Structure 1
Amino acid sequence: MLSYRMKNMISWFLLAIAGVLILYWGYQKSHESKMIRIATASKGGYYYQYGTLLKRYIEKKTDYTVQLLVTRGSVDNRGKLLAGEADFAIVGTNSVSLQNLYMVAPLWRDYMHLVVRKNSDISSLADMAGNSIALGKPGSGYRAQSMKVLDHFALEAEQFRSNDVYFTQLLSDASLEGAIVTTGLLNPDLRQVMASGLFRLVSLEGAEGYALNHSQLTTAKIPSGVYSTVAGPAPAESVETIVTYAVMAARPGLPEKMVQAVLDQLNSDQVRADAPVMLDINPTEDPVLRYLPLHSLSNRYYNPFVGLDNFSRLLGQIAEHKVLILEGLIIFVVVVVQLSQLRRRRIEQVRVNLAAELESVFRQTVEIERNQKDARDWRLLKQYLVEVMRLKQQAVTLVQGSELAESMLFLSTIQQCADVMRQLEWRLSAMQLSEAARQEVDAARSLVSE
């Protein structure tokens, strides 16, 4: 068993830890950033354009400010999230892995465009080999998608000349025959290229088989007439291709309030009205997105079960305030320990006081025993007897309901009282007999004298 001193030291140590945690929590809250860093892509792409739209509404509707990071694309964005250089990022799900990251919300579908010049003889991906084809800059989602599709069709990047340039170079470099561009249908740079009327789109042959080999891909068609060109809407007919999802990803450890601010605006009517390509789907039910790690706050948002949603929200609140909850638990434990110690001290003090009173009764009984030996007056002995009886009753009353009722001190006191009472009763009886004998002698003498 721990000593009282050790228990007291432990309780104060726990209280000190709670104090440190409270200071740490306060420091965290006071230094909680009001800046949201969102990694996008190059300024001419739709990722950046959408980031600009989102920035406007976040800053308008919340107390956060937004910093847009110009990057090379999805691969670069993932690296910035993992390095803590960005809080959120727009990434293509088939371009990068979301391991150690979280999806906050799906945004739109990115379509793979095989762009070639109108006067080119290229009619398929295989025909592109041997030509100057822009596959995207290193670190971009464009290039990651291009490398995957080339690998599937047994093609090498070295078979494509000038392949590490951005596709807008098609407008300034006549030697560039085409590009592989995986992006949303509202990409400003792609729309600018197509608006020139100098380019056409080629179908991706075997798109269905290619999508079957990648969990984050599905097949789709680029709608006819989606791009406005000087020669009229293009393409003239829908084009078979594959699509992947662009999603908003977040790094771990973000304050839930920050994630909520972004999630609210991502799903607001104003943002959706200004970004008509945004998806209206539940990622927990989508056959592609349901396998991606979803942020706990997003999971609560999209979860259709209200009861589970409330429970999940509670868990989220606990997770967000875990330091404060831990502090509260420590303080509660310390308070309970201190109250317990105080109660024990009070009980011990009561026991000590009772023991002192009981010891006083014992000493008084011993004193009476000593004094009665020299007493010769029966009236004094009678007084001693009454006093001992009172002391005995006092001892019984003192220990009633306490642990002292079985103590050696109480038993010795009761025994001492009993012994003194027997001595007094014996002496009183002896005195009564002596007095009776004396009276008989006096009576006999009276008769003789008569």
Structure 2
Amino acid sequence: MIVAIIGVIYVGYYKSNSSTVIRVASGERTSYLFQIGKELKQAIETRSDYKVELVESGSSGINRGALQSGKADVALISQSATDMTNLAVIAPIEKHLLHIVVHVDSGIRSIYGLSGKRISLGGLKSDHRKAAYKLLEHYQIEESSLLNTEVSHLDLLEGRNLDGAIISTSVNDTYMKKLMSSGNFSLISIDAAEGFVERNNLYQNANFAMGVYPSSFGPMPDKWLPTVSENVWLVSRLDLSSDIVNMLIDVMETKNFTLKFPLLSKWLKESEGNLTNCCYMM
């Protein structure tokens, strides 16, 4: 009897002290990745007993560090921007397209027109800058030929410190929608992108769909515009509980969640509706 009582007390104590909080490292508060984190938080808390703490972060490298140090349980990471070794990949969540955004009166008509202009490349360790470096290297454009490269692309709407920016983000990014809707900016195509993808195999050939961005001058672009894309992955620590991983899989397989993230829906179809088949270690 005493042993049984002690056992009940132990189980109760263990459950009351086991963590029911999942820490998700997404991105900066103003970023679309942070919005994805909020969507994931809502879905998890709606369909499970777990609570979610959003760990505001910055780049994929910072998110990887948060996982490795135990400060986060899962994170959103662009594979091209950081080392994926010793991480468990769960699923792709979103697709980032490389945007070359320029003021309509900047005189910039091609990638080569960026030289001598004030072009934001993002923070020194940001995913934006890492993607921009790859692009500039491929087209043999020296970073030193650009001005104001460390000015945030968020300044595009605030003044005229910039002629443009290279931004790696989703077409669902709220800021990007606001930027393009102003009618003051246009997108430059990445011509001959096949060669870029050949050299940077974590990217895929992609296009901005005609009219993907509504603006005060009508839907933009007015034709399919070549660019490149990469996947943003939901990853976890290797020691994350299988119960949590299975819960995450169950949540992401729901219809409401897959409708919001078409890339995930496509991934599910390719894995015959079983997200578990997609998970692997890096």
TM-score (norm 2): 0.87
1:268 pairs, out of 229, 241, 254, with 254
Cα distance change of structure 1 residues 73 and 25 upon mapping to structure 2, 3 Å threshold: farther
- C-alpha distance in 1, partners of 2:114/2:224? 20
Which residue in 2 is equivalent to 1:168? 154
Alignment of 1:315-354 (within 5 A): none
Which residue in 1 is equivalent to 2:82? 96
Which residue in 1 is equivalent to 2:19? 33
Q: How many residues align?
A: 268
**CA shift digits 1:18-40 (9 cap, x unpaired):** xxxxxx99998764321111111
- C-alpha distance in 1, partners of 2:170/2:229? 9
Contact persistence 1:76–1:140 (CA under 8 A): no
Alignment of 1:147-296 (within 5 A): 147-276=133-262, 278-281=264-267
Alignment of 1:62-141 (within 5 A): 62-141=48-127
Deviation at 1:302, TM superposition (A): 4.1
Name the larger-Rg structure: 1
Contact persistence 2:93–2:261 (CA under 8 A): no
Deviation at 1:269, TM superposition (A): 0.7
Deviation at 1:101, TM superposition (A): 0.9
Which residue in 1 is equivalent to 2:46? 60
**CA shift digits 1:264-294 (9 cap, x unpaired):** 2222111123345644125987xxxxxxxxx
Deviation at 1:112, TM superposition (A): 0.5
SS across alignment from 1:270: helix
Alignment of 1:278-427 (within 5 A): 278-281=264-267, 300-302=276-278
The residue type paired with residue 91 of structure 2 is: A
Cα distance change of structure 1 residues 175 and 129 upon mapping to structure 2, 3 Å threshold: same
- C-alpha distance in 1, partners of 2:85/2:269? 17
**CA shift digits 1:139-176 (9 cap, x unpaired):** 32111111222222233333222212331210112130
Contact persistence 2:156–2:162 (CA under 8 A): yes
The residue type paired with residue 127 of structure 2 is: G
- C-alpha distance in 2, partners of 1:113/1:143? 12
Cα distance change of structure 1 residues 93 and 25 upon mapping to structure 2, 3 Å threshold: farther
**CA shift digits 1:323-342 (9 cap, x unpaired):** xxxxxxxxxxxxxxxxxxxx
Structure 1 residue runs without a partner (length 5+): 1-23, 286-297, 304-450
Deviation at 1:241, TM superposition (A): 0.7
- C-alpha distance in 1, partners of 2:88/2:270? 13
Contact persistence 1:108–1:279 (CA under 8 A): no
Cα distance change of structure 1 residues 25 and 100 upon mapping to structure 2, 3 Å threshold: farther
The residue type paired with residue 185 of structure 2 is: F
Return 28-37 or 99-108, whichever deviates more. 28-37
Q: Greater share of strand residues, 1 or 2?
A: 2
Q: RCO higher in 1 or 2 (8 Å CA, sep ≥ 6)?
A: 2
SS across alignment from 1:111: strand
Which residue in 2 is equivalent to 1:343? none
Which residue in 1 is equivalent to 2:31? 45
Structure 2 residue runs without a partner (length 5+): 1-9
Deviation at 1:205, TM superposition (A): 2.2
